[in-house]
Amino acid sequence: MPVTSLRLTEAAHVFWVFLRLGLTSFGGPVAHLGYFHDTFVLRRRWLSATAYADLVALCQFLPGPASSQVGMGIGLQRAGHAGALAAWLGFTLPSAVLMIVAAVGLARYGALLPAGLLQGLKLAAVAVVAQAVWGMASSLCRTRLQWLLMAGTASVVLLLPGAITQLLALTAAGVIGWHELQAPLPPVEAEAPGHAFSRRGGAGWLLGLGLLLMGLPLWAHGSGNPAVAVFDAFFRTGSLVFGGGHVVLPLLEAEVVRPGWVGSTPFLAGYSLAQAVPGPLFTFAAFLGAAMPEPLGGWQGGILCLVAIFLPSFMLVAGVWPFWARLRGRKDVRAVLGGVNAAVVGLLVAALYQPVWIGAVHQAADFVVVLLAGVLLMVLRWPAWSVVGLAGLTGWLAGLF
């Protein structure tokens, strides 16, 4: 069988394996990594435990959704770039379809939905983001300087809101981390997976990413085309999200709510719904695209925003993979990430206050729902989808009385 045909056959197999995972992988990025380890290391033996750990380390290093990037990396190793695309498509398709359907339904029939139901979903989002803040602060802020970077970032972003402020805060934190957080690192024990891919090809992917980051804003400004402006906004967001899926919340809020593309209520309701579906949290972008007013919204808008926010991750995995073994051994790279990750927690703290808390908690009963939802999530360890469903039901019932 020719090499091309063999790769396509392998890619089709990758797609079906990841589609099954996309239909059943509830629980967020950490749970997804557990599902991947069980499927591809223990059962299918597509890669060794060491290679899998190396791949996870790579995707923690990159901006973007870590679990989706790990899936892309597994597909890349198994069937080349077609395999990476197949892995992303299979894992993302179920939740993307559900989110687009929910957004279209909300746009067309939102007036028929009980206001209490939407309020309950917004309150669930408060508890989910609070859980993310707590977990990320515990793991990413380990020194006094990192706690100061977190608090400083949150303060600046709240006082001077906007996408540019967020970008400058992340950059400043990275520079401070590079200067202050360098420490000796253990030697790299294993070569990064995917070493057979050429560095020239990797450099090409990274160059393409840089050209898009610089060229899309110019194209959007020069053409005045709203579709290009939307694609640019989601592409930049996908390029800057360090720290996992929850950090997409403040960046997207700055890009779509403040310009008026999506209202605050559907934004928070959609974010809460994203916790209740399997697959990656980044499919929230599909909801936002589909919820936009015509001519941007609907299925076309959902697909446009979905592709835009995931494309940087695909290009980064393909581009950085050949260089990873050398990069991960550099203490200055780790130091920069130490500063950036602390600032990422600050972004999420700011988002917890505005728009999440301000947009949802208006009275004592709202606070009680948030408190109980937080206990269910963080103390009793209920899955997020069940807490979201219960909060929506509670809001709906409260609206009846």
Q: Tell me the pLDDT tens digit for each residue of 342-365.
A: 887 888 788 888 877 988 898 998
Higher confidence at residue 257 or residue 195?
257
The reported pLDDT for the residue numbered 13 is 93
The reported pLDDT for the residue numbered 36 is 87
- Coil, strand or helix: which one is 185? coil
Locate 25 and state its tokens. Answer: 């992988």
Query: What mean pLDDT comes out for the span 273-283?
Result: 86
Locate 193 and state its tokens. Answer: 């997976």
Q: How confident is the model at residue 27 (pLDDT cuts 50, 70, 90)?
A: low
Q: How confident is the model at residue 55 (pLDDT cuts 50, 70, 90)?
A: confident
The reported pLDDT for the residue numbered 271 is 86
Query: What mean pLDDT comes out for the span 318-324?
Result: 85
Kindly report which listed range (91-95, 205-209, 360-364) carries the lowest average pLDDT score.
Answer: 360-364
CB-facing half-sphere around the CA of 216: CA atoms within 13 A: 21
Buried b (16+ CB within 10 A) or exposed e, 188-211: beeebbbeebeeeebeebbeebee
Q: How confident is the model at residue 400 (pLDDT cuts 50, 70, 90)?
A: low
Residues 35 and 38: their CA atoms lie apart, in Å, by 5
> Is residue 253 predicted with pLDDT exceeding 90?
no
What whole-number percentage of the chain has pLDDT above 90? 35
The reported pLDDT for the residue numbered 189 is 44
Give the start-to-end residue ranges of the domains of the chain: 3-399
Locate 82 and state its tokens. Answer: 């077609």
> Is residue 10 predicted with pLDDT exceeding 60?
yes
Residues 363 and 367: their CA atoms lie apart, in Å, by 7
Q: How confident is the model at residue 72 (pLDDT cuts 50, 70, 90)?
A: very high
Locate 111 and state its tokens. Answer: 């007036």
Residue 241 is classified by DSSP as -
Residues 392 and 113: their CA atoms lie apart, in Å, by 11
Query: What mean pLDDT comes out for the span 159-173?
Result: 83
Higher confidence at residue 90 or residue 295?
90
- Own/partner pairs, 382-389, CB within 8 angstroms, 24+ separation: 383/26, 383/27, 384/26, 384/27, 384/28, 384/128, 384/275, 384/276, 385/26, 385/275, 385/276, 385/277, 387/124, 387/127, 387/128, 387/275, 388/121, 388/124, 388/128, 388/272, 388/273, 388/275, 388/276, 389/276
Query: What mean pLDDT comes out for the span 177-187?
Result: 67
Residues 132 and 138: their CA atoms lie apart, in Å, by 10
The reported pLDDT for the residue numbered 194 is 43
State the pTM of this model.
Answer: 0.77
For every residue of 133-181, DSSP letters joined together read HHHHHHHH--SHHHHHHHHHHHHHHHHS-SHHHHHHHHHHHHHHHHHH-
Residues 263 and 257: their CA atoms lie apart, in Å, by 6
> Is residue 136 predicted with pLDDT exceeding 80?
no
Q: How far, rounded to the nearest angstrom, does the alpha carbon of residue 320 sit from its chain's CA centroid?
A: 19
